Chain A
Amino acid sequence: MKLLEARDIVKQFSNHLALNKVSLAVNEGSIYGLLGPNGAGKTTLIRIINQITAPDNGEIFFNNHKLEANDVFEIGYLPEERGLYRKMKVGEQAIYLAQLKGLSRSDAISRLKNWFEKFEIQAWWDKKVEELSKGMQQKIQFITTVIHEPKLLIFDEPFSGFDPINANIIKQEILELKKKGATIIFSTHNMESVEELCTHITLINESVSLLEGPMDTIRRNYSLDEYEIGFRGDINLLKATLTTQYKIIENKQKNGDNFVRVRLLNDISTNNLLNAMLSSGNIISFNEIIPSMNDVFIKVVEDASKKNK
């Protein structure tokens, strides 16, 4: 079931088109990656979902109805450029933000106490925000984003500003929230964390959505039909065997074994490759090479900019 659906969203600013008919569909319970280079229009789209700005055209559906004002209670948003009232005390501020998300004061306090215990930061409650380090502030901000247990969470670069240990804590919390049924939109430039967390992605470039779908499918679609084969035997013999229909991209030697990367040409099947290789030695491994999200990202964006030129 789809929790959030954007249909043909158009947003024009005075001097540039920020979003040009961008659509996406986020399944309930998934972690959805919103990718794209700087200035592609991701933040604008996120702001439209948060009803901070309105689209010029197109519609957003949330939980099977058209997005409406009260839906903000079901959405939690951690903006990339985050901040808190510097002069306000941590506890008071967290209560305030939770109240704005529709929690009663007593509810807010009891939930916050739980989170503060979990992160072992009870001592911060009466400190002013400006007395905390940046990483500490980020933690508070994370708590205030999820405190109302919304159906949809939008994290824009959630790990920036965290050291690896704290980044891992936050990652575990995100996975925990997913387990509890939250749907998460995750915008980042860190492709490793996308591969690790996301099930679906959309890639926006220059106001246009270039890719949308399950991440595995997309990566497979961008696979170059390359395989890595490990074998024990004569590399020159192999080279002589794999001629016209194959292309050897590279070969490495490791502990006396050869690892060859081969690209299949002319729709030839992997079985043909294996057959052809059998005579050259003992095959010890055979792996399809699926491109990393990093590779996909770079390829898609570069292809698009070539096309535009």
Chain B
Amino acid sequence: MSKISIIIQREYLTRVKKKSFIIMTLLAPLFMAAMFIVPVWIMTRDDAEEKVIAVVEDETNLFKDVIPNSKYLKFEYLVDVTLDDLKTNFSDKGYYAVLHISPKVAYIPNAVQLISHKQPPLDLTIHIANALEKEIEQKKLEAYDIKDLDKILKAVSTNINVQTIKISDDGIEKETSTGLAMGIAYIGGLLIYILTFIFGAQVMRGVIEEKTSRVVEVIISSVRPFQLMMGKILGIGLVGLTQFVLWIIITAIIITAAQSFLLPDDIGQTTQAITENIMSSTPVEQTQVPIQTQEFNEIQQVFNSLHSINWGLILSSFLFYFLGGYFLYASLFAAVGSAVDNETDTQQFMMPITIPLILGLFVAMGTFQNPESSVAFWFSFIPLTSPIVMMARLPFGVPYWELILSMIILILTFLGTTWLAAKIYRTGILMYGKKTTYKELWKWLRYKN
């Protein structure tokens, strides 16, 4: 077995066996899955409790039984009861709230009051408002006394949905969803940023650990410093990859398991299709689903957009940019680790590393507003920011030549930085005591082997 693979093995196994790795690997998907599941769960479960609402008027009886009951909302219209009778004791009588409608409601929007002990949910007030608006509009229209008004209204009623379709240069049409693209861009960019930071910092800490424990001198009497550095970078990179793949698998399992007994069937199938689609990671052929304006189905639209995303391209680009960005930054982190005696001294050298990373994230966030902006364009080529920015641009569609050029620049740059970092590393790991300056680093760069 070659030395570098022995080193990779150690770096990988010691980290993967750690409790913190196992905990993070299991917990993160739980959070991710919770992000998908909890909102849906809340939507379906929140109003499980039946609420009875007393409706009172000031002796006009204009709105008797106007407000329809829903699954969890019951409206009880009380005749000959005034608000004052109920105001203090409505909860004793089993009412969740009292709705008071004043006759002035046709002219004064504020003339409707809902009195309750707790803050009523938004959908309750919307439900009431909608019903009353409809009734009052109806009444007002009747006052005009137009024949066949209902038919006319039905005939003029229109519903518009803007369907966004992108045509590529070769004329293939794709239905797109800006919202979905944004979501993927956001997750992709942010994940690269976070992973680069987490695992880059691990490389740095590993180098500092070897240096402060003085084990480094023993090891580089057996292997070349470059082998030690690369072994560490590759080993930790594999840890990152392992964790990422496990995250995806575990998240998918949790979501699939959760949806089977949490969600109604139609949504369930959609999410399942989404997960399957992501997991198989092959671009799904665009199936032209006819969209009827009358029965517009939002979920259907999301489903179509999901098909329009080239998952194979996104996932393989993600892997590439994760590894490329990681290698680039990890070698810099390794150089910083070698130049200091302990972690607190790293700050002065961390600045030039963290600034491009954070800048990349900012540009990526701007990309969501305008994916075609020239800032996003240029920053997706600059290798220090390209992994984040290009991942943010990708879901909106990027010409292949741009993608390939950006990748080539990234590869060339990380080869260059690794070479430079190795020079600093080789000298730095044997330097103790003296506080390193930038001038010193420059000198180390110019040392002969």
Q: Which residues of A are at the interface with B, using a C-beta cutoff of 8 A?
A: 14, 47, 50-54, 56, 69, 72, 75, 77, 79, 81-88, 96-97, 99-101, 141, 144-145
A101 to B3: give the CA distance in the assembly, Å. Answer: 9
Q: Which residues of B contact A96 (CB under 8 A)?
A: 6, 10
Q: Does B209 contact A (CB under 8 A)?
A: yes
Which of B125-133, B216-224, B326-334, B384-392 faces chain A?
B216-224
Question: CB distance B430 to A54 under 8 Å?
Answer: no
Which residue on chain A has the smallest CB distance to residue B211? A83
Are B214 and A100 in contact, with the CB atoms below 8 A?
no
B14 contacts partner chain A, Cβ-Cβ < 8 Å: yes
**Docked CA distance A141–B432 (Å):** 21
Judge whether A79 and B448 touch: CB under 8 Å: no
Is the CB–CB distance between B14 and A52 below 8 Å?
Answer: no
B213 in contact with A84 (CB, 8 Å): yes
Knowing A56-B448, A96-B6, A96-B10 are in contact, say whether A85-B218 is a contact too (CB < 8 A). no
| A14–B443 touching, CB < 8 Å | yes
Q: Evaluate whether A77 and B215 lie within 8 angstroms (CB atoms) in the complex, with A14-B443, A85-B209, A88-B14 already known.
A: no
Contact check, B218 vs A54: say whether CB atoms are below 8 A apart. no
Contact with A along B173-216 (1 / 0, CB 8 A): 00000000000000000000000000000000000011001110
**B449 contacts partner chain A, Cβ-Cβ < 8 Å:** yes
Contact B217 A79 (CB under 8 A): yes
Q: Is the CB of A86 within 8 A of B213?
A: yes
Contact of A97 among B1, B222, B224, B430 (CB under 8 A): B222
The answer to whether B222 and A72 touch across the interface, beta carbons within 8 angstroms, is: yes
A77 with B221: in contact, given A56-B448, A100-B3 (CB under 8 Å)? yes
A82 and B14 contact, Cβ closer than 8 Å, known pairs A99-B6, A100-B3, A100-B223: no
B1 in contact with A144 (CB, 8 Å): no
Interface contact A52-B220, CB-CB below 8 Å: yes
CB within 8 Å for A75 and B213 given contacts A54-B449, A88-B14 = no
- Known contacts A53-B430, A81-B214, A82-B218; 19 additional CB pairs below 8 A are A14-B443, A50-B221, A52-B217, A52-B430, A54-B448, A69-B224, A72-B223, A75-B221, A83-B213, A84-B213, A86-B213, A88-B14, A96-B10, A100-B3, A100-B6, A100-B219, A100-B223, A141-B218, A144-B218
A247 to B213, CA, bound (A): 56
> In whole angstroms, what is the CA distance A69 to B224 when docked?
9
| Neighbouring A residues of B448 by C-beta, 8 Å | 54, 56
A selection of 17 A-B contacts at a CB cut-off of 8 Å is A51-B221, A52-B217, A52-B221, A54-B448, A72-B221, A79-B218, A81-B217, A83-B214, A85-B14, A85-B209, A85-B213, A97-B218, A97-B222, A99-B6, A100-B222, A100-B223, A101-B222
A215 to B427, CA, bound (A): 35
Q: What are the 7 A-B residue pairs with the smallest beta carbon separation, nearest first?
A: A83-B214, A100-B222, A83-B213, A50-B221, A77-B221, A79-B217, A83-B215
Closest Cβ of chain B to A273, distance in Å, is 53
Instruction: Report if A82-B214 is in contact (Cβ < 8 Å); known contacts: A54-B449, A99-B6.
Output: yes
Shortest Cβ distance from residue B409 to the other chain A in the assembled complex, whole angstroms: 33
Q: Closest approach, in angstroms, between the C-beta of B16 and any C-beta of chain A?
A: 14
Q: What's the least CB distance linking B150 to chain A, in Å?
A: 78
Least distance between B261 CB and chain A CB atoms (Å): 42
Distance to closest chain A CB from B212 (angstroms):
8
- List residues of chain B with CB within 8 A of the CB of A69: 224
Q: Is the CB of B449 within 8 A of A77?
A: no
A77 close to B6 (CB less than 8 A): no
Query: Across the interface, do B218 and A83 meet the contact criterion of CB distance under 8 Å?
Result: yes
Q: How many Å from the CB of B185 to the closest CB on chain A?
A: 39
> Chain A contacts of B209 at CB under 8 A?
85-86
List, in ascending order, chain B residues with CB within 8 A of A47's CB: 430
A143 to B200, CA, bound (A): 34
Give the residue among B214, B222, B430 with the most A Cβ atoms within 10 A. B222
